[in-house]
Structure 1
């Protein structure tokens, strides 16, 4: 019996993702698939930025770092150093939070897959300490850890052109 290329490709994708079911509920082949795909809407994923932004308002770098998965990567706007450990992320936020930042999404695109999601777009940070605004591009990637969505990568960089 011949298997179509599309069916084979889908099987490989599900096997690699570690999901037992596809986003449409179809069973994925393979013995290593033990986790079902959690249902998530764009609003669910958008709320993760709000959760992160609210943690900034606490002024507590550990509260902010709690949004990140183990082995996550933070490529922050105000640092040349990739932050790949919890301690490095806390260190970054200790300095960043001193500026009393608050973010606002200007535009976004959200993509959702089996237990992963991407929120990518443009945001503006207001630094409460000085009132200065900083416009930047961002990408947050998230993964469902079986209990909650956590940031696996964050990249933020200043806009390259002045408006």
Structure 2
């Protein structure tokens, strides 16, 4: 038996509304944010690096988040995987500075992307591209994705 789209539309509408709630369901309340507040989230993350405590760094990430790190080929999905990465990364005593950034704001979400430089305790420097995506969890901003990769071209 074949059904035409006009015949199926009422059925599809009921299925969609049942899956996502009715049209009168509660609406999302957007947490206000400014570029300055989102920029400060990098400072919060960078300050946690300076503590040398990998758990303090990992606490910046949402439970469901991804880290695509600068100096590792392995994506880090779990808190334990991120902890393992930062345990080794922090041994070098990294301090990051932003060289260029673009911030985009959405309802309860933000993107901070650009270029940063890491200086390490041994004097070495790594220039990299980065993207942090954040979500407001109702209490604070948390990182949902963090991509960082070394600059591909020599200066």
TM-score range, shorter chain: 0.7 to 0.9
**Structure 1 residues 114-146: Cα deviation after superposition (integer angstroms, max 9, x where no partner):** 000000000000011x11010000000000000
Matching of residues 58-73 of structure 1 within 5 Å: 58-73=51-66
d(CA) in 2 for partners of 1:160 and 1:132? Answer: 17
Residue number in structure 1 paired with 2:32: 39
The alpha-carbon deviation at position 62 of structure 1 amounts to 0.3
Sort the Cα spacing of 1:93 and 1:30 in 2 relative to 1 into closer, same or farther, 3 A: farther
> Partner of 2:85: helix, strand, or coil?
helix
Matching of residues 142-161 of structure 1 within 5 Å: 142-161=134-153
- Relative to the length of structure 2, the TM-score reads 0.84
Q: 1:83 aligns with which of 76, 84, 94?
A: 76
Segments of structure 2 that go 5 or more residues without pairing to the other structure are 1-19
Moved over 4 A (4+): none
Matching of residues 1-163 of structure 1 within 5 Å: 30-33=24-27, 35-128=28-121, 130-163=122-155
The alpha-carbon deviation at position 159 of structure 1 amounts to 0.3
The alpha-carbon deviation at position 82 of structure 1 amounts to 0.5
> Partner of 2:72: helix, strand, or coil?
coil
- Higher relative contact order (CA closer than 8 Å, sequence separation 6+): 2
d(CA) in 1 for partners of 2:154 and 2:139? Answer: 41
- Relative to the length of structure 1, the TM-score reads 0.80
d(CA) in 2 for partners of 1:117 and 1:157? Answer: 20
The alpha-carbon deviation at position 46 of structure 1 amounts to 0.1
The alpha-carbon deviation at position 71 of structure 1 amounts to 1.0
**Structure 1 residues 31-61: Cα deviation after superposition (integer angstroms, max 9, x where no partner):** 153x410000000000000000000000000
